[in-house]
Chains A and B, each alone.
Chain A
Amino acid sequence: MTSPPTPPAPTPPAPPRPPTPSPRAVVRRIGFYVLVGLVTTFFALPMLWLVTAPFSARPGFSVDWPDFTLANFRSLTESTDALPSLYNSAVLSLWTMAVTVIAAALAAYALSRVRIPGRDGLLYLLLLLSSVITGTAAMVPIFQLMFTLHLLDKDVGVVLVLTGGLLPAAIFILKDFMDGMPRSQEESARVFGAGPLRVLGNVVLPNVRPGLATIAVWAVVQVWGNFLMPFLLYRSPEKQPAAVTLNTFYTQGGQPDLALISTFSLLYSVPVVIMFLFVSRRYGFRFHGGVKA
């Protein structure tokens, strides 16, 4: 920790703090920085491997100062489907995110504003059902369903299946944002003759932007990491997303190839991290009043 243990007098301190530091405040401040230091270390340490191993000539499980080779990245380009699969993941995630956010926003708004009997119970039931559908047992039904609908090997099929699984939680979280929003603005918009879609689009959605951003990031993250569903539902290797690619790095002897795994893991992680940083900077990534039942 680089921070001095003395209270930071010259810089403007955080708002609710007494002007003169008491000894107890100093102790508290030290305690705070110790906690922050420990937590930062705890969360950062496991991630170190992700930044060192890809640049090592022969990565193992240890974190060493790498010899900064780019050979691993070069050998990744040799596999024809590896880098395009990142693009596939992006397309798949963005479509799923778009459909999820739109459908969830419409539904959450309606559920938040109009009382439907048994609404909460229904939402809970759907949340629970969505855990069944992610299990391996559901693969046969889903596969046959998609076959019957002629949606195998099609982006739209995978998008719809993934969306179906994500919607309950998305509605659940988003509805809470909508519940927490004051209704006076909607009323006044309506007085000026705006229809419900206009009210939703011009008044409600701008107000719950952090909520939409949260759902969007969450949806992208879920799709980005999903292996089994795209693997089973896509036929063509060139359509498979990055989660599938990450599972294919074995050496000729059938052992996991740590060089390619770590390198691809880095490339695979960077987009979601960048997206998260962008979204949280731009819209704020947090919960509004908190998720309430």
Chain B
Amino acid sequence: MKITRVTALIMATGLALSGCSGAASGGGTTTLRISANSIEGGKNTAKAEWISDYVIPKFKEFERSKGKKVDVRFEGTGVDDAPFKQKAALDLKTGTAADLIEIDGIWVGEFAQAGYIKPLDQTVGASAGQWDGWRQIPAPVQAIMSFNGRRYGLPTGTDGRVLFYNKKLFAQAGLPADWQPKSWDDIIAAGRRLKTLEGVTPIQLNAGTAMTEATTMQGVLPLLAGTGQEIYSNGKWQGDTPRLRQVLDLYREIYSTGLGDPKLQQSPQGRDESFARFADDKVGILLESDYFWREVVGPNAEVAPMKDRDQTVGYTLIPAMRPGGGIRGQSQVSMSGGVGWVLNPRTKNAALAWELLTFMQSHDAVKDEVRRTAVGISPRDDVNAETLTGDPLLRFIATKVLPITAVRPGLAAYPQVSTALQKATGDVVAGESVDRAARAYERNLERAVGGAANVSTG
């Protein structure tokens, strides 16, 4: 690799100033550093508070009881995902990263391929597999922080996607309060009924690049799963396939016949506005994750609280295009994601860092985290059994959605594939034909994944 030669050249200029970097320990005290994209008083403040107020003091106490002096430093920030990812990657690349870092599960594959993170049994050793907590974490949830069948970290939670609908509007349009669509046609039919109401956007199906990943996760991917296809399978990415065209056709039908509002999809604040409209009883059907229920329209939420959420907001599984037509022959589909903690493979205190990580994911700690933060469904069955009882939707997700859900492929090309899918839906919403949008998508896809050899058109 030539880059190292340039590095050597810099050294040769004799400018290397002295100074010591990063992790330090002094006076018999070992210091661990943990970093996450959350900050007190800002983004994900509850998580930062959980770390500062619960994890750190309790862990220090725990270690002191064993006669060890340990200090834990939290390096929090609260920025957009893109710069956070950039920084995490650069930190891990140079080895200056914290001992524990919280990253999006979707980054695990690309970080692993780049050699930034290593499987737990390599970093920690055989003891990683012997942790008793694994038994509490279901395999699909473990998979969030795994790549090629090996575990790279511990997930902090997961989610699931469903169709939310407004029961008041449904009643006005003569639709059932207990709505259970069996196919895409049922959704369109309900949308047509809702369209008769004044000032109502019948369906909000995310599209376009302004919504970024929300278009892919709460739009294209669940729909594609409903046609029986996953975006990456058998080592190939799905290009301009008949099934992708079926998905784009659905977008076309919704946005060219007034069932959806194209403008919401193309405004930088469009997603927020769609939330506000839903809370205002002006959106009929909306595809979202449980985050919407908890943090957007929750009675105490800050975004768009609905005091009457439990009475007004209904939820139902996302139907496949037609019964039995989804992936694995399912009649309903969903998508899930999640974040989790990984170990810096170059940590000087791997054993201690693993101890901290398992402490953070122990029953008591997770329970405290759930109580404080935006974690809806925790990774641990024992905690979920205690905390989900009070929330019907979360129970619904845990029992009905997680068994049928799917996850995104954790490969480095995925973010760009996702962007290409967003563009394709954006094209259709902006009035392009499905044919042109699909062909443009395939061109973008080929460039993103390194040539036509990696693309399937079947």
Residues of A within 8 A of B (CB): 75-76, 78-82, 139-140, 143-145, 147-154, 227-228, 231-232, 235-237, 240, 244-245, 247-257, 260
Interface residues of B in 281-332 (CB under 8 A from A): 291, 295-296, 301-303
* Inter-chain pairs besides A150-B16, A235-B96, A248-B77, 4 sampled, C-beta below 8 Å: A139-B90, A140-B90, A150-B17, A231-B83
Q: Which residues of B contact A145 (CB under 8 A)?
A: 10
Considering the complex, give the chain B residue whose CB is closest to the CB of A240: B77
Shortest beta-carbon distance, B223 to chain A, in Å?
23
Interface presence of B3 (CB below 8 A): yes
Docked Cα-Cα span, A244 to B42, in Å, equals 11
Report yes or no: A250 in contact with B78, Cβ–Cβ below 8 A.
yes
Shortest beta-carbon distance, B278 to chain A, in Å?
13
Interface residue from B15, B96, B374 paired with A149 (Cβ < 8 Å): B15
Binding site of B, secondary structure by majority: helix, strand, loop or mixed? loop
Interface presence of B191 (CB below 8 A): no
Number of A-B contacts defined by CB within 8 Å: 119
Residues of B within 8 A of A (CB): 3, 7, 10-11, 15-22, 39-46, 75-80, 83, 86-87, 90-91, 94, 96, 272, 275, 291, 295-296, 301-303, 374
Docked Cα-Cα span, A154 to B21, in Å, equals 10
Q: Which residues of B contact A248 (CB under 8 A)?
A: 39, 42-43, 77-79
Q: 10 A-B pairs, CB-CB below 8 angstroms? A: A79-B41, A143-B90, A149-B15, A151-B19, A153-B21, A232-B87, A236-B75, A248-B42, A252-B302, A254-B291
Report yes or no: B21 in contact with A237, Cβ–Cβ below 8 A.
no
Report yes or no: A150 in contact with B3, Cβ–Cβ below 8 A.
no
Report yes or no: B90 in contact with A80, Cβ–Cβ below 8 A.
no
Report yes or no: B7 in contact with A252, Cβ–Cβ below 8 A.
no
Shortest beta-carbon distance, B121 to chain A, in Å?
29
Shortest beta-carbon distance, B198 to chain A, in Å?
25
Report yes or no: A80 in contact with B94, Cβ–Cβ below 8 A.
no
Report yes or no: B16 in contact with A251, Cβ–Cβ below 8 A.
no
Shortest beta-carbon distance, A82 to chain B, in Å?
6
**Closest 8 pairs between A and B when the two form their complex, measured CB to CB:** A79-B41, A248-B78, A248-B42, A253-B295, A253-B303, A150-B19, A250-B43, A251-B302
Considering the complex, give the chain B residue whose CB is closest to the CB of A140: B90
Q: Which residues of B contact A257 (CB under 8 A)?
A: 42, 302
Shortest beta-carbon distance, B184 to chain A, in Å?
29
Docked Cα-Cα span, A266 to B96, in Å, equals 35
Shortest beta-carbon distance, A246 to chain B, in Å?
10
Report yes or no: A253 in contact with B79, Cβ–Cβ below 8 A.
no
Docked Cα-Cα span, A154 to B87, in Å, equals 16
Q: Which residues of A contact B41 (CB under 8 A)?
A: 75-76, 78-82, 260
Docked Cα-Cα span, A249 to B20, in Å, equals 33
Shortest beta-carbon distance, A212 to chain B, in Å?
28
Shortest beta-carbon distance, A225 to chain B, in Å?
15
Interface residue from B94, B96, B302 paired with A255 (Cβ < 8 Å): B302
Interface residue from A78, A228, A251, A253 paired with B83 (Cβ < 8 Å): A228
Shortest beta-carbon distance, A103 to chain B, in Å?
16
Shortest beta-carbon distance, B8 to chain A, in Å?
9
Report yes or no: A232 in contact with B86, Cβ–Cβ below 8 A.
yes
Docked Cα-Cα span, A153 to B21, in Å, equals 8
Docked Cα-Cα span, A75 to B272, in Å, equals 23
Considering the complex, give the chain A residue whose CB is closest to the CB of B42: A248
Shortest beta-carbon distance, A142 to chain B, in Å?
10
Report yes or no: A249 in contact with B19, Cβ–Cβ below 8 A.
no
Given contacts A152-B96, A251-B303, A252-B302, contact A144 B7 (CB under 8 A): yes
Q: Which residues of A contact B87 (CB under 8 A)?
A: 231-232
Considering the complex, give the chain B residue whose CB is closest to the CB of A61: B269
Considering the complex, give the chain A residue whose CB is closest to the CB of B16: A149
Report yes or no: A250 in contact with B21, Cβ–Cβ below 8 A.
no
Docked Cα-Cα span, A27 to B11, in Å, equals 69
Considering the complex, give the chain A residue whose CB is closest to the CB of B297: A253
